Amino acid sequence: MSGIKKDNTEEKILNAAQTVFIKKGMDGSRMQEIADEAGINKALLHYYFRTKQKLFEAIFKKVFKHTFPNIGEFMLSDLPIEEKLATFIEKYISLLLKNPFFPAFIIKEISRDPDFLATVIKSQGVNPNKLFEMFENEMEAGRIIRMDARDLMINILALSIFPFVAKPLINIMFFGNDKKTYNAFLKKRKESVKEFILNSILIR
């Protein structure tokens, strides 16, 4: 989120919409609630964004970019593979700890409107092929075990994201609904996920 405080109405609306949409999703949110959260009235929402759908799409794109940031930069760098993975997992889980509700929000909405999802992904310019090539080179060089690169990438994402996606469920089942304990646990996971993955794939 931007640290700069802009007092203009559009930004107040965007912040309010993000708060409400993330909590209740597109279908569960009400324009009145967003207006209240922003401290304005409903008509003004429509003045700025015309429809609920357009307002929602603005929020979705913004949140999507945060939840799936561009990881190409250092994942395609010259660092050794264990450092690349360690850095990515640490940075990524830290990012999710700052925005713990982003993943569930994205998951909630991706099945609602697949066409829109496809548009967003394309506008992001996501191209995982280079990532797969990088993994395959590491396998070829005998530094990690041979496996489907897509499996590996999905495993990394799953281990990082799932605990946030299933947060309320896991919190009740495994942590007696104590949020502080669960948050401490998630912080520790930065280490444990890294070890779990490297244990599995690294050839030493």
Q: Which residues bind a second copy (CB under 8 A)?
A: 23-25, 27-28, 101, 104, 106-108, 110-112, 114, 117-118, 121, 126, 128, 145, 147-148, 150-151, 153-155, 157-159, 161-163, 165-170, 172-175, 177, 185, 188-189, 192-193, 195-197, 199-201
Q: 177: Cβ–Cβ under 8 A, 6 or more apart, which residues?
A: 171
- Measured between alpha carbons, how far is 13 from 38 in angstroms, rounded to an integer? 6
Q: Which is nearer to DNA, 47 or 162 (CB)?
A: 47
Q: Smaller CB distance to DNA: residue 47 or 74?
A: 47
φ, ψ of residue 144 to 5 degrees: the values are -130, 160
Q: How many residues does the chain have?
A: 204
Contacts of 37 (CB under 8 A, 6+ apart): 16, 17, 19, 20
Site for DNA in 16-55 (CB under 7 A): 29-32, 40-44, 46-47, 50-53
In the complex, what is the shortest distance from the CB of residue 118 to a second copy, in angstroms, rounded to a whole number?
A: 5
Minimum distance, C-beta of residue 111 to a second copy, in the bound complex (Å): 5
Q: Least distance from C-beta 29 to DNA, angstroms?
A: 6
- Nearest 5°: phi and psi at 78? -95, 5
Residue 143 binding result from DNA, a second copy, none, given CB thresholds of 5 to 8 Å by partner type: none
* In the complex, least distance from residue 123 CB atom to DNA, rounded to whole angstroms: 22
Contact 89, 194 (CB under 8 A): yes
Cα–Cα distance for residue pair 63/43, rounded to 1 Å:
25
Nearer to DNA, 11 or 82 (CB): 11
Separation in Å, CA 106 to CA 26, 52, 142, 200: 11, 17, 36, 29
Measured distance CA(23)–CA(112) in Å, rounded = 16
Cβ closer to DNA: 31 or 75? 31
Q: Could you tell me the smallest distance in angstroms from the CB atom of residue 4 to a second copy?
A: 30
- Out of 9, 15, 87, 155, the only residue in the binding site for DNA (CB under 7 A) is 9
CA contacts within 13 A on the Cβ side of 159: 20
Residue 46 C-beta: closest distance to DNA, Å: 4
Interface with DNA (CB under 7 A): 7, 9, 29-32, 40-44, 46-47, 50-53
